[in-house]
Amino acid sequence: MNLAGRLRPIVAALAVLAASACAVRAEEANDYPTSARAEYVYGCMKANGETRAAIEQCSCSIDVVASIVPYERYVTAETALSMSQVRGNLGVQFRTSEQANAAVTDLRRAQAEAEVRCF
Protein backbone atom coordinates (compact mmCIF):
# COMPACT_ATOMS: atom_id res chain seq x y z
CA MET A 1 0.00 0.00 0.00
CA ASN A 2 1.42 3.38 -0.95
CA LEU A 3 1.66 6.44 1.31
CA ALA A 4 -1.56 8.01 -0.04
CA GLY A 5 -3.46 4.80 0.71
CA ARG A 6 -2.19 4.71 4.27
CA LEU A 7 -2.94 8.39 4.91
CA ARG A 8 -6.48 8.34 3.52
CA PRO A 9 -8.09 6.73 6.63
CA ILE A 10 -6.15 9.06 8.93
CA VAL A 11 -7.24 12.13 6.99
CA ALA A 12 -10.84 10.90 6.99
CA ALA A 13 -10.75 10.34 10.75
CA LEU A 14 -9.30 13.81 11.32
CA ALA A 15 -12.00 15.36 9.14
CA VAL A 16 -14.73 13.62 11.12
CA LEU A 17 -13.13 14.70 14.39
CA ALA A 18 -12.84 18.33 13.23
CA ALA A 19 -16.46 18.37 12.02
CA SER A 20 -17.74 17.01 15.34
CA ALA A 21 -15.68 19.56 17.29
CA CYS A 22 -17.17 22.37 15.18
CA ALA A 23 -20.67 20.99 15.75
CA VAL A 24 -20.12 20.89 19.52
CA ARG A 25 -18.86 24.48 19.50
CA ALA A 26 -21.88 25.54 17.44
CA GLU A 27 -24.22 23.87 19.93
CA GLU A 28 -22.46 25.60 22.83
CA ALA A 29 -22.73 28.97 21.08
CA ASN A 30 -26.37 28.32 20.28
CA ASP A 31 -27.55 27.28 23.73
CA TYR A 32 -29.53 30.51 24.15
CA PRO A 33 -33.26 30.00 23.53
CA THR A 34 -34.81 32.03 20.74
CA SER A 35 -36.90 34.04 23.21
CA ALA A 36 -33.76 35.18 25.10
CA ARG A 37 -32.07 36.17 21.84
CA ALA A 38 -35.19 38.03 20.69
CA GLU A 39 -35.49 39.86 24.02
CA TYR A 40 -31.84 40.92 23.84
CA VAL A 41 -32.20 42.16 20.25
CA TYR A 42 -35.41 44.02 21.12
CA GLY A 43 -33.75 45.81 24.04
CA CYS A 44 -30.65 46.52 22.00
CA MET A 45 -32.71 48.02 19.19
CA LYS A 46 -34.60 50.24 21.64
CA ALA A 47 -31.25 51.55 22.83
CA ASN A 48 -29.65 51.88 19.38
CA GLY A 49 -32.48 52.91 17.08
CA GLU A 50 -35.07 50.82 15.35
CA THR A 51 -33.40 50.57 11.97
CA ARG A 52 -32.41 47.74 9.69
CA ALA A 53 -28.76 48.40 10.57
CA ALA A 54 -29.62 48.11 14.28
CA ILE A 55 -31.21 44.69 13.67
CA GLU A 56 -28.00 43.47 12.05
CA GLN A 57 -25.77 44.96 14.76
CA CYS A 58 -27.91 43.74 17.64
CA SER A 59 -28.22 40.25 16.15
CA CYS A 60 -24.45 40.18 15.80
CA SER A 61 -24.12 41.40 19.37
CA ILE A 62 -26.16 38.58 20.92
CA ASP A 63 -24.23 36.05 18.83
CA VAL A 64 -20.96 37.40 20.24
CA VAL A 65 -22.33 37.43 23.79
CA ALA A 66 -23.60 33.86 23.37
CA SER A 67 -20.20 32.74 22.13
CA ILE A 68 -18.50 34.15 25.24
CA VAL A 69 -20.99 33.73 28.11
CA PRO A 70 -22.81 30.41 28.71
CA TYR A 71 -26.58 30.78 28.90
CA GLU A 72 -26.80 29.91 32.61
CA ARG A 73 -24.28 32.64 33.41
CA TYR A 74 -26.24 35.06 31.19
CA VAL A 75 -29.44 34.29 33.13
CA THR A 76 -27.61 34.88 36.42
CA ALA A 77 -26.33 38.25 35.20
CA GLU A 78 -29.69 39.35 33.80
CA THR A 79 -31.44 38.34 37.03
CA ALA A 80 -28.87 40.18 39.12
CA LEU A 81 -29.24 43.32 37.00
CA SER A 82 -33.00 43.20 37.22
CA MET A 83 -33.20 42.40 40.92
CA SER A 84 -30.54 44.93 41.89
CA GLN A 85 -33.03 47.64 40.94
CA VAL A 86 -35.47 46.44 43.60
CA ARG A 87 -35.49 48.63 46.68
CA GLY A 88 -34.91 47.28 50.12
CA ASN A 89 -33.13 44.25 51.50
CA LEU A 90 -33.83 42.01 48.51
CA GLY A 91 -32.20 44.45 46.09
CA VAL A 92 -29.23 44.90 48.43
CA GLN A 93 -28.63 41.15 48.39
CA PHE A 94 -28.30 41.22 44.60
CA ARG A 95 -26.19 44.39 44.56
CA THR A 96 -23.70 43.01 47.09
CA SER A 97 -23.55 39.36 46.02
CA GLU A 98 -20.08 38.42 44.82
CA GLN A 99 -21.48 35.73 42.50
CA ALA A 100 -24.01 38.12 40.96
CA ASN A 101 -21.39 40.84 40.50
CA ALA A 102 -19.01 38.37 38.82
CA ALA A 103 -21.74 37.25 36.41
CA VAL A 104 -22.61 40.87 35.60
CA THR A 105 -18.93 41.64 35.02
CA ASP A 106 -18.67 38.69 32.61
CA LEU A 107 -21.75 39.90 30.74
CA ARG A 108 -20.42 43.47 30.54
CA ARG A 109 -17.10 42.22 29.15
CA ALA A 110 -18.93 40.15 26.53
CA GLN A 111 -21.08 43.14 25.61
CA ALA A 112 -17.96 45.30 25.25
CA GLU A 113 -16.47 42.71 22.91
CA ALA A 114 -19.74 42.64 20.96
CA GLU A 115 -19.64 46.43 20.72
CA VAL A 116 -16.18 46.27 19.18
CA ARG A 117 -17.08 43.50 16.74
CA CYS A 118 -20.59 44.57 15.71
CA PHE A 119 -21.04 48.33 16.00
pLDDT score of 8: 57
30/65 Cα distance (integer angstroms): 11
**Burial tier of 53 (Cβ tally within 10 Å: 0-12, 13-18, 19+):** exposed
**Secondary structure letter of residue 97 according to DSSP:** -
pTM for this entry: 0.73
C-alpha to C-alpha distance for 67 and 18, rounded to whole angstroms: 18
Q: What is the mean pLDDT of each run of 10 residues along the chain (119 residues)?
A: 55 48 50 97 96 97 98 97 91 89 97 98
pLDDT at 95: 86
Q: For residues 79 and 74, what is the distance between their CA atoms, to the nearest angstrom?
A: 8
